[in-house]
């Protein structure tokens, strides 16, 4: 076994972290809004609601995870999805929801407020 293989992250655990991050309604709303194009924090606050500090904190999280990037425009920053892969992920999620959205909406296991799903 190579040294790299010994220290490789568990793929399922990393994927679970990604999906936990996407499970937050505010972060997901930000990503879906950025799917429409670049936005400033003030634009996101106007479209999503919440405080500027809350939206900024969620953007920082998404940026730290490599899902969002930004660029300065004057005194503001304009945020966008970091890569085509993020765009593809969100578009594929839309397709999955087109096929399964009704079942997902009715699923009692993942009702709002249920932190971890079924007990193990």
pLDDT interval class at 109 (50, 70, 90): confident
Question: What is the per-residue pLDDT across 5-49, written as a single tens digit (0 to 9) for each?
Answer: 554 568 888 888 889 889 999 999 999 999 999 999 999 999 999
Question: What is the per-residue pLDDT across 52-84, written as a single tens digit (0 to 9) for each?
Answer: 999 999 999 999 999 999 999 999 999 999 999
Count CB neighbours of 87 within 10 A.
15
31-70: string of b/e by CB count within 10 Å (b at 16+)?
bebbeeeebebebbbeebeeeeeebbebbebbeeeebbbb
What are the residue ranges spanned by the domains of the chain?
Answer: 11-106
pLDDT interval class at 1 (50, 70, 90): very low
Lowest mean pLDDT among 13-17, 22-26, 102-106, 107-111: 107-111
pLDDT interval class at 119 (50, 70, 90): very low
Q: What is the pLDDT of residue 113?
A: 53
pLDDT interval class at 86 (50, 70, 90): very high
Longest dimension (CA), the chain: 52
- DSSP character at residue 39: B
CATH number of this structure's domain 11-106, picked from the four choices 3.40.50.10540, 3.40.50.2000, 1.10.10.10, 1.20.120.1200: 1.10.10.10
Q: What is the pLDDT of residue 120?
A: 40
């Amino acid at each position: 076994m190579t040294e790299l293989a010994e220290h490789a992250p568990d793929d399922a655990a990393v994927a679970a972290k990604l999906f936990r991050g996407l499970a937050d309604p505010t972060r997901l709303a930000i990503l879906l809004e950025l799917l429409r194009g670049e936005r400033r924090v003030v634009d996101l606050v106007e479209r999503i609601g919440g405080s500027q500090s809350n939206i900024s904190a969620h953007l920082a999280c998404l940026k730290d995870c490599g899902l969002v990037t930004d660029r300065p425009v004057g005194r503001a920053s304009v945020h966008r999805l970091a890569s085509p892969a993020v765009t593809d992920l969100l578009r594929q999620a839309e397709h999955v929801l087109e096929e399964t959205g009704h079942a997902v909406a009715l699923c009692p296991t993942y009702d709002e407020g249920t932190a971890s799903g079924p007990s193990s």
